[in-house]
Chains A and B, each alone.
Chain A
Amino acid sequence: MDTGIKERVLEQIRKVVVGRDREAELLLVSFLSGGHVLLEGVPGVSKTILAKSFAKCMGLEFKRVQFTPDMLPMDMVGGFVFNMKDREFEFRQGPVFTNLLLADEINRAPPKVQSALLEAMQEAQVTVEGLTQKLPFPFMVIATQNPQEFQGVYPLPENQLDRFLMKITLPYPDSATESKIIRRNLDEMDTGDVKEVFEPKELEGILHQVEKIRVSDEVIDYLSTIAEETRKEKRLSLGASPRAMVHLIHCGRANAYLAGRDFVIPEDIKSVSSYVLAHRLKLDQSAVLTGTVADPSQVVQDIFTKVRPPR
């Protein structure tokens, strides 16, 4: 167990991103959990630079795809092109063949493209015309979307949202942080300042260690109770899926690893519950209209406040 990992990563990210420690930490937790992240925020709140600097310090190959309404699935996964020299079709890999894919403004792409990402995100492979190709290991998607856009966008369906381990909302920075950002940007600043924290082999070792973190039966039962509560909750019309609970336990393991423990405690799960669950839950319309609840994360917090963890 290496307790210094989080600090090493944050130290590098702080060189270019100001005031986003918690978000960077959540990216690290998602990465160690083998999951994908949806970053939501208005333009200019450092979503892209955060993803870029994270990829850089983790020593990951990084590719960025700007999603647009006229995009085709092959623009992302790749496709067969005719090789004039050999006189045969050959597969040309798309930008998805990387370690960290930044899917910028994912909700601007048509559903066909979004669903092409599904297989990649779920199984770390892509299939084009019957040919299945494995994606590089590790593979992570960081998608971004702007919550203020309503025109020319295709909101992600529930099944796609469920594939994202976490949804992280980036609010505007407070005025002190904003002053720091402006002051810092008076000079040229780029991700070139960010140093790699890990060797590829070291990273692989860490990911294997996270998988070995112990999860007691009682902690698993605690999660089952939470899942059941979300499904019984009157303010929700869609509760948490079993996949959501699996994602939550993976995050618990990653948190335990970062805390230097080889076992998961309920707090490891509770601390990321809103980020992992809220985007998968659907509020009941009558609860919204009566003003009982406005945000699914409020329901998640209420459930975790109510359900007794193993103590």
Chain B
Amino acid sequence: MFAFLAIAIIATRRIRPPSVQDLSGAFQDLDRSITKFVPDMPAGYTWGEAVERLKGAGVKVDWSKMESSLAEYEAFRYGGRDVPKGGEDEVVRLSMKIRRRIVGYRNKRKSAGAD
């Protein structure tokens, strides 16, 4: 059981933060994380819906920072503004949390099975 627990912890730690160039890259990475690791999120989700959903699920990030990053990203993505500088840290954190949470959940199940 301890061996599986150790593997689970290592597996969780092994997830490296993605190397993103800017806020746009950070949101693209977040989209990949959501699509891959939140299976019941429908393909037609919008950013607003995703934020509401993850907030409701109790994912702990600084949501006010996250929302201001989203507003800047949307201004770039749909409003034709320049790519915003900075603001990607919280987005990357959220993306990592989503991945870790799922990996952690899978490992928990694996450990429980080992018992």
User: Residues on A close to B: CB < 8 A?
Assistant: 214, 216, 218-219, 261-267, 270, 303-311
In the complex, B79 has a CB within 8 A of chain A: yes
A307 touches B79 (CB 8 A): no
Instruction: Say which residue of B44, B47, B77, B78 sits within 8 Å of A304 (CB atoms).
Output: B44
- Known A311-B27, A311-B31; judge A270-B78 contact (CB<8 A): no
B47 touches A264 (CB 8 A): no
A contact residues around B47 at 8 Å (CB): 265, 267, 311
B44 touches A214 (CB 8 A): no
Q: How many A-B residue pairs have CB under 8 A?
A: 54
User: Residues on B close to A: CB < 8 A?
Assistant: 27, 31, 42-49, 74-75, 77-80
Instruction: Say which residue of B27, B44, B48, B49 sits within 8 Å of A308 (CB atoms).
Output: B44
- Known A267-B47, A267-B49; judge A310-B77 contact (CB<8 A): yes
A308 touches B46 (CB 8 A): no
B42 touches A216 (CB 8 A): no
Given contacts A267-B47, A270-B46, A311-B47, 17 further A-B contacts (CB under 8 A): A214-B79, A214-B80, A261-B75, A263-B75, A264-B78, A265-B48, A265-B74, A266-B46, A270-B44, A303-B44, A304-B44, A305-B43, A306-B42, A307-B44, A308-B44, A309-B44, A311-B77
A contact residues around B45 at 8 Å (CB): 309
A contact residues around B46 at 8 Å (CB): 265-267, 270, 309, 311
B contact residues around A311 at 8 Å (CB): 27, 31, 46-47, 77
Alpha-carbon distance A303/B42, docked complex (angstroms): 11
Shortest Cβ distance from residue A44 to the other chain B in the assembled complex, whole angstroms? 35
B contact residues around A219 at 8 Å (CB): 78
Shortest Cβ distance from residue A226 to the other chain B in the assembled complex, whole angstroms? 9
20 contacts between A and B (CB under 8 A): A214-B78, A216-B78, A216-B80, A219-B78, A261-B74, A261-B79, A265-B47, A265-B78, A266-B78, A267-B47, A267-B48, A270-B44, A303-B44, A305-B42, A305-B43, A306-B43, A307-B44, A309-B45, A311-B27, A311-B31
